[in-house]
Amino acid sequence: MCIKRYFIKVEGIVQGVGFRPFVYNLALKNSLTGWVNNNSQGVFIDLEGKDKNLSNFIYKLKNSPPPLSKIDHITKKEMELKNYKNFEILKSEENKNKITLISPDIATCKDCLDDIDDPKNRRHNYSFTNCTNCGPRFSIIKSIPYDRDKTTMKKFSMCTNCNKEYTDPTNRRFHAQPNACSLCGPHLFVLDSKKNIISDEDSISLDFTRKKLKDGYIFAIKGLGGFNLACTPYEFNVIEKLRTRKNRKDKPFAVMAKDIETAKKYCLISEKEESILTGIRKPIVILKRNIGYNLPENLAPNQNTLGVMLPYTPLHHLLFKDGINLLIMTSANLNSIPLEYENESCYANLHKIADYFLMHNRDIHVPIDDSVVRVIDNKIRLIRRARGYVPLPINEPNLNSILALGGNMKNTFAISKQDYIFLSQHNGNLENIETTNHYLNNIDHFKNIFLFQPDYVALDKHPLYESTKYGETLNIKKIKIQHHHAHIVSCLAENNINNKVIGICFDGTGYGDDHKIWGGEFLICHRSQYTRVSHLGYICLQGGDKAVQEPYRVAISYILNAYSQAESIEIIKRLYKEKGLIISNLIKSKINCIETSSMGRFFDAASSIIGIRNTISYEGQASIEMESIINNNIKSSYSYEIDENLIIITKETIKDLILDKLNNISKDIMATKFHNTIINITIDVAKRLRELYEINEIALSGGVFQNAYLLENLIHEFQALDFIVYTQSEIPSNDGGLSLGQLVAANEIIKNSMTT
């Protein structure tokens, strides 16, 4: 019998996910001796034993590793025999240069749910039950290596039973850093809006919360990455109360459903959607409503969808008892200010919104919002990448140390080290000091947990973005990346594409090289360079930010652009009365005007002309409400022109649309015809570009591609024409994915400058 010794290195997400006990048990099963340890490169395993057993071990290691782990590389080297007597788990070792990959926060696993449901289990009804396969990670880590004393669990010392589990390599809770029970761990309490303690006992707190939720009260509930505001979704008046207090007029609320069966009462759920809803990350999934949908209109006004998630902490599971099946669960924050995550601050800021606070004493170190996803063309599409996904890395070879700062809206930043890119969680819009500070804190935190120091900074060209202004203060080499190029490179990076493509970026806003606002762009580009070869014709955007809040201003611009003086005044008077004429005059005198080729604004204009939205109360509302009334049976469309410079001319589109409007054609028909027109234009331009540049590959990115009808139809039509189409999936196509594109474009530019 042949005895051998192998030294095995495992890299990837292999720490804090139960990897060492898995290795330990696997070694015992195969009668192997040696040791395993955690270090900043991953996990090292020194193994000695029979050849056949070693092969068995390696097969299992590769093919059935722990559920939360993600192995990137396994290397093995045969070594001289050491004659180990047994198998041991050795202490973690630190190495200042190497990266530790950290697991995202993971929804409660099946085994832990069984524990809390079992009256005989010592964790029966315990809200902070977790194990190596589930529970908080990223949100409680203060620094690395990932050990309990570097997390917010430090203040709880484990009782004898918990410690036994924690130190037993055969236990599911071996080295589960947040391990706790009701004897030694965190506890719940309830405050009212005057800060009186209503209960400081777990089961009384839960009973009280359930009862008051049923009575129509609003709660702030501390979850995994921050607080949610919760209340019943069944009563119009309760929802209205929440809207008034939160100053949130129309933006849809998401709900949390007790289980998948409850969700199916209201929504159509595909197999793919079900797998995401019930999976380990538990994001909010935007679902189509079914015929049985009967919730109050003000829950998600003018939508045909509903955002749904399933319980992802033991606390949530315990709430859904005694007849509670569905709750509104929305981020607890003041309008446009970051998510509340600390008890004191949450109470101070929200005591006029929430009637009660269900809190606990496990601190959240890093706030992280619920992620939001949608399934389009049977693929997951991240809209907001946060809890459950961050900080999963993106692999990319030969990276310089770059900090990419992202945009101003839906901000994320990205850092790169060795072969990994880490995209931050959604930081919000950098439009106030609170959000900007939150953003800067998160940059510091990433530097700290990934031991990262940038050599370069990548930034948007917009001089007024807070992210750009911050970048300008850094004393390192700056690389500016055009906004829409960054969007397309984000798509190329996600799809691992290095060659030239036709990049189609349909977006809201982005600073163009001619200092105008771009957003309906066709680029011939690869990672480091681009040429703008076609775009939506410029129109005037009057009133700066107001033009975004008030789509009718853009509509008037489009009408003025399409008709003669006299004709346009007639139409504007008919559609928009006196206020329309005032805006027309401002546009004609070029007061506070800037030219734009934004596709997002073109959608806004159509939505206003059709009569859906003249003003909005949340981003994208005009287009989202237009998409929600689409009628799939309508195949007709409007005219358009493409001039000799490949500029898209929309005069005929607007004239056709106005004609329908004046003929009282129904809104759903106009909305669908408008969408079909955009699809036709896009395909027409792409075909011409294929001819001209002999490129057959297309990359789609930009916020407008969150539109399911547009994206799905374009993908299908392009494929039917034998184009190869790349789209975004795990990385948002909106500005949440911008920093990845900035980083990868900058890295390519740096690499090129080094070789020339």
What is the spatial order of strands in the sheet that 477-481 belongs to?
A: 393-395, 420-423, 414-417, 402-404, 456-460, 477-481
> Contact letters (x/-) for Fe ion, 471-510, by CB under 5 A?
------------------------------------x--x
Q: Which residue number, 8 or 738, has a Cβ lying nearer to Fe ion?
A: 738
H/E stretch holding 53: helix 51-63
Find the binding residues for Zn ion in span 134-173 (CB under 5 A). 134, 159, 162
**Residue 131 binding target from Zn ion, Fe ion, none, CB below 5 to 8 Å by type:** Zn ion
User: Is 619 one of the binding residues for Fe ion (CB under 5 A)?
Assistant: no
Give CA torsion, residues 116, 224, 317, 149, to 10 deg: 0
Q: For residues 656 and 639, is the Cβ–Cβ distance under 8 A?
A: yes
H/E stretch holding 382: strand 379-384
> Contact letters (x/-) for Fe ion, 507-546, by CB under 5 A?
x--x------------------------------------
Applying CB under 5 A, which part among 68-76, 102-110, 412-420, 649-657 lies near Zn ion? Answer: 102-110
At position 364, the amino acid (one-letter code) is I
Buried b (16+ CB within 10 A) or exposed e, 434-453: ebbebbeebbebbeebbbbe
Whole-angstrom Cα distance, residue 164 to residue 171? 9
Whole-angstrom Cα distance, residue 747 to residue 498? 13
User: Is 181 one of the binding residues for Zn ion (CB under 5 A)?
Assistant: yes
Q: Pairing relation of β-strands 197-199 and 188-192? A: antiparallel
Q: Which residue number, 131 or 403, has a Cβ lying nearer to Zn ion?
A: 131
Least Å from the CB of residue 425 to Fe ion: 18
Q: Measure CA 535 to chain center.
A: 28
Least Å from the CB of residue 168 to Zn ion: 14
Q: Which residue number, 11 or 507, has a Cβ lying nearer to Fe ion?
A: 507
Cα distances (angstroms) measured from residue 331 to each of 78, 229, 284, 338, 445? 53, 6, 12, 9, 22
**Residue 218 binding target from Zn ion, Fe ion, none, CB below 5 to 8 Å by type:** none
Applying CB under 5 A, which part among 106-114, 435-443, 460-468, 528-536 lies near Zn ion? Answer: 106-114
Least Å from the CB of residue 294 to Fe ion: 37
Residue nearest to Fe ion (CB): 507
User: Is 112 one of the binding residues for Zn ion (CB under 5 A)?
Assistant: yes
Applying CB under 5 A, which part among 145-153, 378-386, 423-431, 735-743 lies near Fe ion? Answer: 735-743
Q: Which residue number, 179 or 232, has a Cβ lying nearer to Zn ion?
A: 179
Q: What are phi and psi of 719, to 5 degrees?
A: -65, -40
How is residue 175 written in tokens? Answer: 């080295």
**Residue 65 binding target from Zn ion, Fe ion, none, CB below 5 to 8 Å by type:** none
Q: Which residue number, 425 or 734, has a Cβ lying nearer to Fe ion?
A: 734
Q: Which residue number, 25 or 56, has a Cβ lying nearer to Zn ion?
A: 25
> How many chain residues interact with Fe ion (CB under 5 A)?
3
Q: What is the DSSP string of 164-211?
A: HHHH-TTSTTTT-TT---TTTS--EEEEETT--EEE-SHHHHHHHHHH
User: Is 109 one of the binding residues for Zn ion (CB under 5 A)?
Assistant: yes
Q: Which residue number, 133 or 747, has a Cβ lying nearer to Zn ion?
A: 133
User: Is 280 one of the binding residues for Zn ion (CB under 5 A)?
Assistant: no
User: Is 735 one of the binding residues for Fe ion (CB under 5 A)?
Assistant: yes
Q: Which residue number, 17 or 750, has a Cβ lying nearer to Zn ion?
A: 17
Q: Which residue number, 318 or 493, has a Cβ lying nearer to Zn ion?
A: 318
**Residue 507 binding target from Fe ion, Zn ion, none, CB below 5 to 8 Å by type:** Fe ion
**Residue 184 binding target from Zn ion, Fe ion, none, CB below 5 to 8 Å by type:** Zn ion
**Residue 659 binding target from Zn ion, Fe ion, none, CB below 5 to 8 Å by type:** none
Q: Of 133, 228, 650, 733, which one interacts with Zn ion (CB under 5 A)?
A: 133
**Residue 159 binding target from Zn ion, Fe ion, none, CB below 5 to 8 Å by type:** Zn ion
Least Å from the CB of residue 312 to Zn ion: 12
Q: Which residue number, 226 or 620, has a Cβ lying nearer to Fe ion?
A: 620
Q: Please enumerate in sequence order all residues whose Cβ is within 8 A of that of 700, keeping only pairs 6 or more positions apart, or say none.
A: 491, 504, 505, 506, 711, 714, 715, 725, 726, 727, 728, 733
Least Å from the CB of residue 159 to Zn ion: 4
Applying CB under 5 A, which part among 99-107, 573-581, 728-736, 743-751 lies near Fe ion? Answer: 728-736
Which of 22, 5, 78, 72 lies closest to 42 in space, CA to CA?
72
Strands (E), 461-506: 477-481, 501-506
Q: Which residue number, 134 or 457, has a Cβ lying nearer to Zn ion?
A: 134
- 519 phi-psi bin (left φ>0, alpha ψ -120 to 50, beta other): left
Least Å from the CB of residue 649 to Fe ion: 24
Q: Which residue number, 181 or 380, has a Cβ lying nearer to Zn ion?
A: 181
Q: For residues 369 and 425, is the Cβ–Cβ distance under 8 A?
A: yes
Whole-angstrom Cα distance, residue 2 to residue 18? 31
Applying CB under 5 A, which part among 108-116, 191-199, 363-371, 400-408 lies near Zn ion? Answer: 108-116
Residue that has been written with the tokens 């129904």 in this structure: 666
Least Å from the CB of residue 720 to Fe ion: 28
Q: Which residue number, 134 or 140, has a Cβ lying nearer to Zn ion?
A: 134
Strands (E), 591-723: 593-596, 641-642, 647-649, 697-701
**Residue 735 binding target from Zn ion, Fe ion, none, CB below 5 to 8 Å by type:** Fe ion
**Residue 348 binding target from Fe ion, Zn ion, none, CB below 5 to 8 Å by type:** none
Least Å from the CB of residue 521 to Fe ion: 10
**Residue 162 binding target from Zn ion, Fe ion, none, CB below 5 to 8 Å by type:** Zn ion
**Residue 586, Cβ neighbours under 10 Å: how many?**
17
Whole-angstrom Cα distance, residue 331 to residue 382? 17
SS3 label, residue 448: helix
Which stretches of 351-451 are DSSP H helices? 433-449
User: Is 460 one of the binding residues for Fe ion (CB under 5 A)?
Assistant: no
Q: Which residue number, 66 or 508, has a Cβ lying nearer to Fe ion?
A: 508
SS3 label, residue 543: coil
User: What residue ranges bind Zn ion (CB under 5 A)?
Assistant: 109, 112, 131, 133-134, 159, 162, 181, 183-184
Residues near Fe ion, by CB under 5 A? 507, 510, 735
